[in-house]
Structure 1
């Protein structure tokens, strides 16, 4: 089945999570993961994103960079969104994601890519 793989520019684990929360609250303008910034507030997933991903009808996988590298045995410039068919193909690069101003723009960009994904 074709799907999307979202990779955040942070590592998994509770310590990394606490550092990310602190960074988002204390210095949001320098936070390193624009994808996380678009999809999550300081403590939880944004409601609009949760609704979109639940209703879009395309399997989505969400990984931290350390999880991605372990699972797929490759690296990338993070954050990144891949289209997964037989292999992984970059759907949206860090540069593309960094240009998005808000969650609505991310949702529209993902929707535009869906005809090629399904």
Structure 2
């Protein structure tokens, strides 16, 4: 079954999480993960994104870069969205994600890509 794998440009864990929150609050324009900026505010997932992912009708997996590299044994340019069948295929590369300005644009881009 086809699924989507979203990989954020940050590492997992409480220390990384706190650093990410601080960075988003103090210097949001220089935060390194445009995917996280689109889908989350400083403290939680955006309600509109949560609703979209729950209703899109396709399994989605969300990983930090360290989790992705451990699970799949490969690296990528982050953030990135993969389509997963038997293998991983880039659905949206970093450049495309970085070019999106709003959550609505991300949702539309994911819908079109599917």
Counterpart CA distance in 2 for 1:56 and 1:82 is 16
Offset at residue 49 of structure 1 (A) = 0.1
Q: Runs of 5+ in structure 2 lacking a partner?
A: none
Q: Report the counterpart of residue 80 of structure 2 in structure 1.
A: 80
Counterparts of 1:27-38 in structure 2 under 5 Å? 27-38=27-38
Counterpart CA distance in 1 for 2:113 and 2:46 is 21
Q: Report the counterpart of residue 94 of structure 1 in structure 2.
A: 94
Q: TM-score, normalised by structure 1?
A: 0.96
Counterpart CA distance in 1 for 2:57 and 2:65 is 25
Offset at residue 113 of structure 1 (A) = 1.3
Q: Report the counterpart of residue 25 of structure 1 in structure 2.
A: 25
Q: Report the counterpart of residue 112 of structure 2 in structure 1.
A: 112
Offset at residue 15 of structure 1 (A) = 0.2
Q: Runs of 5+ in structure 1 lacking a partner?
A: none
Counterpart CA distance in 1 for 2:90 and 2:55 is 23
**How large is the Cα RMSD of the aligned pairs?**
0.3
Deviation >2 Å, runs of 4+:
none
Residues 25-51 of structure 1 show CA distances to partners (whole Å, capped at 9, x for unaligned) of 000000000000000000000000000
Query: Secondary structure of 2:74's match?
Result: coil
